[in-house]
Amino acid sequence: MFINKSSLVLRVLPLAAIVLAACGAQPPQATQLPPQQVTVEVTAPPQQIEVTRVVEVEKPAAPAVPGNQVLRWALEGINEPSTLDPAKAGDAPVVFATGLIFRGLIQLDAQLHVVPDGAESWTVSSDTKVYTFKIRKDLKFSDGSPVTAEDAAFSITRSLDPKIGGGNGGYYLSNILGAEDFSAGKSDKLDGVKALDAQTLEITLKNPSAYFLYQLNFITGYILSKKNVTEGGEKWYEKPVGTGPFVLGEWQHNQKLVLTPNANYWAGAPNQLKQVDLIFYGGDQGSTTACNDYQTGAVDVVGSFGQNPIPSQFVPQVKDLPDYHSAPQFVVRYLGFNNKIAPFNDVKVRQAFALAIDKSKLIKLLGESSVRAQDRILPGGIPASELKVDGLSFDAVKAKTLLAEAKFDPATKVTISYGTEGDNAKVLEFLQQEWKQNLGVEVTLEPLELQTFSQKLTDTYNKPEEGLQAYYSVWGADYPDPQNWISQQLRTDVGNNNGHYSNAEFDKLVDAADVEVKDPAARLKAYNQAEQIAVTEVGWLPLFSPNANALVKSYVTGLVFTGQGIIVPDWTAVRGVAQ
């Protein structure tokens, strides 16, 4: 979930940010970042303009006495992280946990602006292809060793290394010069990343990009200790050394991660907390169990990820509580169809299945305070979402006509696969009934454990002829830019395009938009035109966008809700429960 830039100024769309504070209390003053002295300019999203930025942040003094509070945070959707390696982590809860231990050169603030983190400044060349970062002079890893540009270069290169096998680096860092050949094993070095000296890192891009900093801010850009990784063995991440606000104190497998404050964190150790417990709640009842534990006082934060919000049946019980917080998220639940195999290789069949769904009934089923109907790919708040797209509205008569034109045999076996979590079964059972009633088609549902489902999506991309026929999935923004939703999901053969949707005109539009840095309006218009093509041809079938319905205990302070999820501007302001 993260942010963008070109040779431009920092300003994203105005997003409602809800500060989570004590019930009815004023937002805590401590949620602001430490004193800042902006000494030059800023680099930022494509909609604005300027050139580079330097921000010096005064580091607060270390606390004389450590805090005695614990923050207990529910990680719904996982029974156990498969890794804490930033090059491989993928699921939102694991990405969140990883981001507390590791950090990168930059980060997002509460307004989703790009601001310095491990880098104290950066500059951009006139052709917007060369980024030069200055590492903070006092930046240290959690073990006290200094962070160098060589560590940053090693980390980015490692994320693209085909021997690592994570795949995420190829999604987010492929525009770095030489990345494609390096990640394909055709070259033994990454030309576009160089440590010029101990504190200077240079990154050269293949093409201009209006969103590169957003991508660099994703976990694949986090700085690892080269020594920790190379000397720590295959599971080095079980004793990780990072630059984030916390260190891994204990990994209680299949239960929780226990994090403790990083005394060497450059922005100040989280001095109110003695630990953060990230508690796992997996399985199809994970969110329900987490909510029950919240009500008994066993956890302090529940439902913080838009992919796994509070189950709809709980909302009526809690929506009037001061603990309850709801905000729109950059998240869309959708149906994906395998375009390589029958029957969904026929656009008319995909359109028929789309037109046969009455989304208004689905929204009522899930609760109007929890979800919003979605007829397009971009969720509200992402640039270009303000531009019109005509969705496929419910029309059972037209749906039947299209199915007949496609010569679809009602006896055709149709299977929709999904991961077992939250309201997923309820959604799929509703869709199953809609298709039976409006199309006369019997659809089989295939519930799968989340990790199994995720692996089958990967298998569908790699071998579509042997893959899933159709699937119910979710996408949450890695960064608030349309490229993360349009190009990175539906361009022909791109890594996230598990359904293998392909349209030449769509590809032409997104290819042009991806390298446009001088005309923001033209860039957004091209994405909008591409989105319309994909919606009409059902590259995705968007269903709804969930709110992040969260429960946060009244004593917890310092958290800020944004479309990207919860952001913590200053961990020294965060409070948990005294123990």
pLDDT at residue number 66: 54
User: At 21, is the pLDDT very low, low, confident or very high (cuts 50, 70, 90)?
Assistant: very low
Domain residue spans of the chain: 18-265+553-578, 331-547
Cβ-count burial 525-558 (b if 16+ within 10 Å, e if not): bbbbbbbbbbbbbbbbbbbbbbbbbbbbbeebbb
Backbone phi and psi for residue 231, each to the nearest 5 degrees, phi listed first = -105, -5
Q: Omega into 343 within 30° of 0, i.e. cis?
A: yes
Helix axes 504-515, 520-536, angle to 10 degrees: 160
pLDDT at residue number 211: 94
Q: How far apart are CA 306 and CA 549, in angstroms?
A: 8
β-bridge mates for residue 418, sequence order: 447, 472
What is the Cβ-side half-sphere exposure of residue 36, based on CA atoms within 13 angstroms? 17
User: At 46, is the pLDDT very low, low, confident or very high (cuts 50, 70, 90)?
Assistant: very low
Query: In sequence order, what E strands does 130-171 have?
Result: 130-135
pLDDT at residue number 40: 27
Considering 43-47, 152-156, 289-293, 569-573, the range whose residues carry the highest mean pLDDT is 152-156
The CATH-assigned architecture of domain 18-265+553-578 is 3-Layer(aba) Sandwich (3.40)
pLDDT at residue number 90: 76
Contact call for residues 559 and 537 (beta carbons, < 8 A): no
Report how far apart the first and last C-alpha atoms of the chain are (Å, whole number): 32
Residue 331 CA, chain-centre distance (Å), reads 9
Q: Is the dihedral of CA 116, 119, 122, 127 positive or negative?
A: negative
User: Average of pLDDT values for 185-191?
Assistant: 94
User: At 6, is the pLDDT very low, low, confident or very high (cuts 50, 70, 90)?
Assistant: very low
Q: Which residue has the higher pLDDT, 121 or 282?
A: 121
The CATH-assigned architecture of domain 331-547 is Roll (3.10)
Backbone phi and psi for residue 39, each to the nearest 5 degrees, phi listed first = -105, -15
What are the tokens at 351?
Answer: 């359109």
Distances (CA, A) of 285 to 76, 310, 413: 9, 11, 29
User: Average of pLDDT values for 318-328?
Assistant: 86
* Interval 126-144: pLDDT, tens: 889 999 999 999 999 999 9
**Whether residue 1 has pLDDT greater than 60:** no
User: Average of pLDDT values for 39-68?
Assistant: 38
Taking Cα atoms as reference points, which of 14, 15, 11 lies closest to residue 47?
11
Distances (CA, A) of 370 to 69, 302, 308, 475: 31, 15, 11, 17
Indicate the residue type of 459. D
User: At 549, is the pLDDT very low, low, confident or very high (cuts 50, 70, 90)?
Assistant: confident
Contact call for residues 130 and 191 (beta carbons, < 8 A): no
Q: Which residue has the higher pLDDT, 540 or 579?
A: 540
Indicate the residue type of 160. L
What are the tokens at 15?
Answer: 């997003």
Per DSSP, the residues of 398-460 read HHHHHHHHTT--TTS-EEEEEE--TTHHHHHHHHHHHHHHHH---EEEEEE-HHHHHHHHHHH
* Interval 280-319: pLDDT, tens: 998 778 888 999 999 999 999 998 655 566 777 788 888 8
Question: DSSP assignment, residue 24?
Answer: T
pLDDT above 90 coverage of the chain, percent: 71
* Interval 424-469: pLDDT, tens: 999 999 999 999 999 999 999 999 998 899 999 999 999 999 999 9
**Whether residue 118 has pLDDT greater than 60:** yes
User: Average of pLDDT values for 386-410?
Assistant: 97
What are the tokens at 476?
Answer: 């949450």
User: At 160, is the pLDDT very low, low, confident or very high (cuts 50, 70, 90)?
Assistant: very high
* Interval 502-539: pLDDT, tens: 999 999 999 999 999 999 999 999 999 999 999 999 99
Q: How far apart are CA 366 and CA 353, in angstroms?
A: 20
* Interval 374-395: pLDDT, tens: 999 999 999 999 999 999 999 9
Instruction: Report the range of poorest mean pLDDT among 48-57, 62-71, 183-192, 315-324.
Output: 48-57
What are the tokens at 462?
Answer: 């790699």
Instruction: Report the range of poorest mean pLDDT among 81-85, 311-315, 468-472.
Output: 311-315
Q: How far apart are CA 321 and CA 319, in angstroms?
A: 6
**Whether residue 32 has pLDDT greater than 80:** no
Contact call for residues 568 and 560 (beta carbons, < 8 A): yes
pLDDT at residue number 548: 77
- Cβ atoms within 10 Å, residue 413: 10
pLDDT at residue number 166: 65
**Whether residue 4 has pLDDT greater than 60:** no
User: At 543, is the pLDDT very low, low, confident or very high (cuts 50, 70, 90)?
Assistant: very high
Contact call for residues 420 and 447 (beta carbons, < 8 A): yes
Contact call for residues 390 and 567 (beta carbons, < 8 A): no
Q: How buried is residue 491: exposed, middle or buried, by Cβ count under 10 Å (0-12/13-18/19+)?
A: buried
pLDDT at residue number 43: 33
What average pLDDT is seen over the chain?
A: 86
User: Average of pLDDT values for 151-164?
Assistant: 96
Q: How far apart are CA 468 and CA 74, in angstroms?
A: 31
Contact call for residues 169 and 89 (beta carbons, < 8 A): no
Q: How far apart are CA 15 and CA 110, in angstroms?
A: 10
Contact call for residues 382 and 477 (beta carbons, < 8 A): yes
Per DSSP, the residues of 465-515 read GGS-SEEEEEEE-SSSSGGGTTHHHHSTT-TT-TT----HHHHHHHHHHHH
Taking Cα atoms as reference points, which of 285, 124, 347, 269 lies closest to residue 573?
269
**Whether residue 56 has pLDDT greater than 60:** no
